Structure 1
Amino acid sequence: MASTSATGSTIVAGEARHFGAMAQDWWDPNGSSAMLHKLNPVRLSYIRDQVDQHWSLDECARRPLEGKTALDVGCGAGLLCEPLARMGAEVTGVDAAPELIAAAQAHAAGQGLEITYRVADVADLEGRFDLVTSLEVVEHVVDPGAFIKALAARLAPGGLMILSTPNQTAWSRLLTITLAEGFGRIPRGTHDFDKFIAPDRMKVLLADAGLRCVDVEGIAVSPTRGLHISEDLSLNYLVAAVHA
């Protein structure tokens, strides 16, 4: 939902409008963001595992992010921000679409959660955060390298960054665009295959931003297990990175 332009802005108006139009039913598990609802538990399990490993935490702790700050870039209406807050983090969520931020604020208030939401460009943010996340966002930017550098600038020393994105494979094109968008599981026009990023390229982009990739795991799908963490990176994958 963001990119780098000649003016230095990382916000792409067309992307913001596309996702902003989904704000009304973002929290409906059967609505236009249904696939994100299916992805979220898988992504959260990965985040929890990486958080526990990175800070050597008790995997049974109910609030592992207590005392830590978290930034979610491209937060939508807060699908990830809310569980991060429940994990104890002081959470800031930013998105380019005002409609999504309004929906996020309303939903958090209804849940009794204190989360800072802003309509903002990551390049314009100040401060640093212990945990920086940006899930299913980097494939929507014009300049992924500049975007990741902007994320890295917000990562505190000793912090952890987690990204996710579709792989650039025939399998991801078939499932994500041909089938999911073709049959209305994901709104048409959400993805551009040419912007999908292969893991090897992602590692280069992270290195160029002064980050070191510490883990890569896939999100695969099967008839028996549905979406799940896997060594198979061909559909979608998550990466964890730290300052080099």
Structure 2
Amino acid sequence: MKILLSALVAGLSMAALPALAAELAPIAPMVPTTSVVPTTPMAQLPAAAAPAQPRIARGLLLLHEGRVFMAPCRDRSYVNVEDVSEGGTVLAALRDFGLAPGNNLYVELMGVQEGGLLRVSGLNFAHAGARCLGEAENEEDWRALGLQAEWAAAAGAGALRVERADAPELRTTYDAVKDDQGARRIEAEGVALSFTPGLCRTGDGKMLTGWRAALVPAAGSALEGCGWER
């Protein structure tokens, strides 16, 4: 009997252990749950606009009370001109060329226009005559003239025409205008024409350009001249 009772007590105790253990088990602290709020990616900032590239501005240049203005061709408005070239070389060269109060010039300047202000960084072409020149013909891209007007060349759309005082007119074709560290070069059958950045003035003093040109015939030495973009 004692053995049975002991066995029952032991059995009861053993049977109750799981329930008792469950009651006595430490209660795990409740971990607060946070709802995950879906996030949307931050709006991307617009990419910074690329700086405007200089373009050719054509018109009449005027000097009045120490200020420089341009009157664009076929436009009755005026824009202020600011020389942003290194050392102000563009306006200095144009003053030396003849720009003065009452003496206007026809010019083609490399610059960026912002409202009523033209920021000038280079010179393409200037002529002592105070009148706008006509538009380029036959899709011309480049022109050149000998220092003494002894030769002239026009290139554009793959066609090159060369006129010389001592040779027949030459008409030929080329593939492309090559860029060689800022210089431009046109290679065609029987002739090559190059343009190097730098101020150039023709022998008669009537024309000032921003490119030095060289015409190299297949037979003969290089002929110097002035060049400009069209």
Q: TM-score, normalised by structure 1?
A: 0.22
- Where is the helix percentage greater, Structure 1 or Structure 2? 1
Query: Which structure carries more relative contact order (alpha carbon 8 Å, separation 6+)?
Result: 1
Over alpha carbons, which structure has the higher Rg? 2
TM-score of the aligned structures, taking structure 2 as reference length:
0.23
